C-alpha cells in the first residue's frame, strides 16, 4: 500500500511539473512575439526587485491593505517552503523527514508557518469582504466583469482552503502524537501555536479516524498546491512569479521622459536643414511608426501585460477615468494580455502561419480610450510592480497619428503649423522671437 502511494505521488508531481512547464513555455513564446528592446544592466535594478517585488513599497500608501497583502504574499510563499519536505515524504514514504535532524528549530519553523497560515487565511477573508460586500470601486469596475472578477474570488477561496487544510493536518497530527500512536508519536514536532487550539476537537476520535483525516488533509493540501501552481499561468496571480523579472527590467530613466523616434527626429532635421538630406533618402523603405498589434510592441511591454495584477490602482489614479472617460490603464494591460493569448493560441494551432484579421488597436482598444490619455504618468507612478501602461498607449497613439492620420480634428491645425512654421502657432518662423521685443517694450 505504501509503495502504491509513493508511485501515485511521483505521478502527481511529474504531471504537475509537466503541465506548468508547458504553459510557461507558451507564455515565454508569447512575450517573445514583441520586438527587441535592449535593457542595460544596472545595480538599481536589484534595488527595484528588493523594494518593489519583495518589499512591495508602493503598496504602503494604504498601510492596512498593504499589511494584509504582504501577509498573504509573504506568508503563502514562505509556507510553501514545506513543499520540499512534503515532496520528499511522498517519494520516500516518510513522515516529517526533517523533524529529527532539526529538532527545536523545526518546531519553531512549523509554529511560525502556522502563524503565517492564520494571517493568510484572515487576510483572504478580509479581501473577499472588500470585493464582494464592501464593493471597493476599483475592484468592481466593468472591465472586471465575468472571468476577471471570478478569478480573483477563486484564488482567495483557494488560499483559504489550502491554509485550512494545512492547519487541520497539523491538528490531527498533534492529536495522534498525544495518543502516542505509531510513527506520529516518534516525531514530536511542535506545540502548534494555531492548530493547537482546534486539536481538542479531534482528541475524542479514534486513531484510525485521525489518521484518515491527517492523510486526507496531507494529500489534498499538496494536490491543491500543484493545482494552484498550474492555475497561476491562467490567472492574474501570475504576477506572484513575474513581479521579480518585471521590476528588474523596469525603466530607470526619469519617469516623464518619453522615448523619441529617431526617424521622426531625422525628418524634423531634414525639414529645418534641407541641405542635410542624403541623396538616397528618397529610396528609403517606409518604416512603420508606432504599434498596431502586439508584434509592434516590445517584449518588455508584453511582459508588463502578463505581470499586471489587475489591482486597479492605475485606473483609480487616472484623471481621465475619474472624469468619466472610457480610458482605463488596467483595461489596456488586460486587453494586451488577452490579445497575446489569442495570437499565441492561433500560432500553435496553425503551423502554416495563418493569422486572424484582428489587431490590438481598434478590435481591443478603441481610439476614444487612447485619445483620452493626457500622458500625465499617474498610472505609472502608482503601479506596485512598475508596469508602464503609458508606454503601450503612446505607441498605439503614434500609429493612429502617423500611420492612419487618425487624431482629433483640433490637432490638424497644430500639425500644419508645425510642418510649415516649425511651431504649433500660426506665424512666420522669422517672427518666433518677436515676443522678446514685446517683453522689453
Where residue 425 falls among pLDDT bands split at 50, 70, 90? confident
Query: Do 298 and 229 fall within a single domain?
Result: no
DSSP code string of 355-410:
--S--IIIIIB-HHHHHT-----HHHHH-TT---HHHHHHHHHHHHHHTS--S-TH
CA triplet 198, 220, 67: central angle to 5 degrees? 65
- Please compute the mean of the pLDDT values over residues 415-430 and round it to a whole number: 79
Number of domains the chain contains? 2
* 282 lies in some domain: no
Where residue 299 falls among pLDDT bands split at 50, 70, 90? very high
| pLDDT for position 441 | 62
Instruction: Give per-residue burial for 289-298: e unless 16+ CB within 10 Å, then b.
Output: bbbbbbebbb
Query: Do 270 and 124 fall within a single domain?
Result: no
Query: Do 87 and 223 fall within a single domain?
Result: yes
Residues 250, 251, 255, 258: is their CA dihedral positive or negative? negative
Choose from 64-68, 238-242, 262-266 the range with maximum mean pLDDT. Answer: 238-242
Q: Report the percent of the chain where pLDDT is more than 90.
A: 59
| pLDDT for position 52 | 92
- Please compute the mean of the pLDDT values over residues 373-392 and round it to a whole number: 95
Q: Is the pLDDT of residue 188 over 90?
A: no
* 256 lies in some domain: no
Per residue, the 3-state secondary structure of 163-191, as one string, reads HHHHHHHHHHHHHHHHHCCHHHHHCCCCC
- Please compute the mean of the pLDDT values over residues 253-280 and round it to a whole number: 79
| pLDDT for position 263 | 77
Distance separating alpha carbons of residues 264 and 415, to the nearest angstrom: 13
| pLDDT for position 205 | 93
Distance separating alpha carbons of residues 297 and 288, to the nearest angstrom: 12
Yes or no: say if 66 and 56 are a contact pair by the CB < 8 Å rule: yes
Burial (CB < 10 A; 0-12, 13-18, 19+), residue 430, is exposed
Task: Choose between 440 and 229: higher pLDDT.
Answer: 229
* 440 lies in some domain: no
* 78 lies in some domain: yes
Assign residue 295 the CATH number of its domain.
Answer: 1.10.1060
Query: Do 195 and 313 fall within a single domain?
Result: no
* 239 lies in some domain: yes
What is residue 145's DSSP assignment? T
| pLDDT for position 282 | 66
Where residue 1 falls among pLDDT bands split at 50, 70, 90? low
Query: Do 342 and 422 fall within a single domain?
Result: yes
CA distances from 122 to 90, 180, 205, 238 (A): 29, 32, 28, 22
Query: Do 226 and 357 fall within a single domain?
Result: no
| pLDDT for position 267 | 77
- Please compute the mean of the pLDDT values over residues 381-405 and round it to a whole number: 94
Q: What mean pLDDT, rounded, does the chain reach?
A: 89
Min mean pLDDT across 66-75, 79-88, 175-184, 274-283 is at: 274-283
Distance separating alpha carbons of residues 156 and 329, to the nearest angstrom: 24
Q: Is the pLDDT of residue 334 over 90?
A: yes
Query: Do 99 and 197 fall within a single domain?
Result: yes
* 232 lies in some domain: yes
Per-residue pLDDT reduced to its tens digit, 141-178? 999 999 999 999 999 999 999 999 999 999 999 999 88
Query: Do 89 and 203 fall within a single domain?
Result: yes
Assign residue 130 the CATH number of its domain.
Answer: 1.20.950
Q: Is the pLDDT of residue 436 over 80?
A: no
CA distances from 107 to 55, 101, 296 (A): 27, 11, 54
Query: Do 270 and 242 fall within a single domain?
Result: no
Q: Is the pLDDT of residue 279 over 80?
A: no
Query: Do 226 and 270 fall within a single domain?
Result: no
Q: Is the pLDDT of residue 48 over 70?
A: yes
Query: Do 235 and 270 fall within a single domain?
Result: no
Which residues form the domain of 349?
266-274+288-427
Distance separating alpha carbons of residues 406 and 214, to the nearest angstrom: 65
Query: Do 186 and 323 fall within a single domain?
Result: no
* 103 lies in some domain: yes
pTM for this predicted structure: 0.88
Distance separating alpha carbons of residues 16 and 220, to the nearest angstrom: 14
* 311 lies in some domain: yes
Amino acid at each position: 500500500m505504501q509503495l502504491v502511494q509513493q508511485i501515485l505521488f511521483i505521478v502527481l508531481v511529474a504531471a504537475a511539473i509537466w503541465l506548468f512547464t508547458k504553459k510557461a513555455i507558451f507564455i515565454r513564446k508569447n512575450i517573445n512575439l514583441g520586438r527587441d528592446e535592449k535593457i542595460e544592466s544596472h545595480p538599481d535594478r536589484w534595488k527595484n526587485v528588493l523594494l518593489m517585488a519583495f518589499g512591495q513599497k508602493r503598496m504602503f500608501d494604504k498601510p492596512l491593505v498593504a499589511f494584509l497583502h504582504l501577509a498573504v504574499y509573504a506568508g503563502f510563499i514562505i509556507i510553501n517552503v514545506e513543499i520540499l519536505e512534503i515532496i520528499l515524504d511522498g517519494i520516500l514514504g516518510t513522515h516529517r523527514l526533517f523533524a529529527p535532524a532539526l529538532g527545536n528549530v523545526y518546531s519553531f519553523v512549523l509554529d511560525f508557518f502556522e502563524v503565517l497560515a492564520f494571517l493568510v487565511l484572515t487576510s483572504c477573508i478580509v479581501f473577499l469582504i472588500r470585493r464582494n460586500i464592501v464593493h471597493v470601486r476599483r475592484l468592481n469596475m466593468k472591465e472586471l466583469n465575468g472571468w476577471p472578477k471570478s478569478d480573483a474570488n477563486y484564488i482567495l477561496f483557494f488560499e483559504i482552503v489550502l491554509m485550512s487544510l494545512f492547519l487541520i493536518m497539523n491538528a490531527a497530527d498533534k492529536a495522534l502524537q498525544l495518543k502516542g500512536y505509531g510513527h506520529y508519536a516518534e516525531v514530536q514536532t511542535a506545540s502548534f501555536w494555531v492548530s493547537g487550539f482546534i486539536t481538542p476537537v479531534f482528541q475524542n476520535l479514534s486513531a484510525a479516524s485521525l489518521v484518515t483525516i491527517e492523510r486526507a488533509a496531507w494529500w489534498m493540501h499538496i494536490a491543491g498546491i500543484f493545482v494552484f501552481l498550474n492555475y497561476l499561468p491562467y490567472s492574474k496571480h501570475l504576477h506572484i512569479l513575474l513581479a521579480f523579472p518585471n521590476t528588474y527590467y523596469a525603466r530607470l530613466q526619469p519617469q516623464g521622459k518619453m522615448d523619441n523616434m529617431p526617424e521622426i527626429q531625422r525628418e524634423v532635421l531634414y525639414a529645418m536643414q534641407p541641405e542635410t538630406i542624403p541623396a538616397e533618402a528618397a529610396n528609403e523603405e517606409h518604416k512603420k511608426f508606432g504599434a498596431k498589434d502586439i508584434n509592434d510592441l516590445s517584449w518588455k511591454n508584453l511582459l508588463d501585460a502578463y505581470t499586471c495584477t489587475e489591482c486597479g490602482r492605475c485606473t483609480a489614479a487616472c484623471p481621465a477615468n475619474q472624469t468619466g472617460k472610457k480610458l482605463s490603464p488596467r483595461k489596456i494591460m488586460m486587453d494586451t494580455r488577452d490579445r497575446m493569448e489569442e495570437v499565441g493560441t492561433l500560432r500553435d494551432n496553425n503551423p502554416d502561419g495563418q493569422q486572424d484579421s484582428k489587431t490590438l488597436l481598434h478590435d481591443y482598444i478603441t481610439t476614444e480610450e487612447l485619445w483620452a490619455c493626457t500622458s500625465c504618468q499617474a498610472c505609472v507612478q502608482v503601479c506596485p510592480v512598475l508596469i508602464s501602461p503609458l508606454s503601450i498607449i503612446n505607441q498605439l497613439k503614434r500609429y493612429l497619428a502617423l500611420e492612419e492620420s487618425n487624431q482629433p480634428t483640433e490637432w490638424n491645425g497644430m500639425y500644419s503649423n508645425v510642418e510649415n512654421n516649425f511651431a504649433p502657432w500660426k506665424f512666420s518662423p522669422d517672427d518666433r522671437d518677436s515676443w522678446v521685443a514685446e517683453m522689453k517694450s
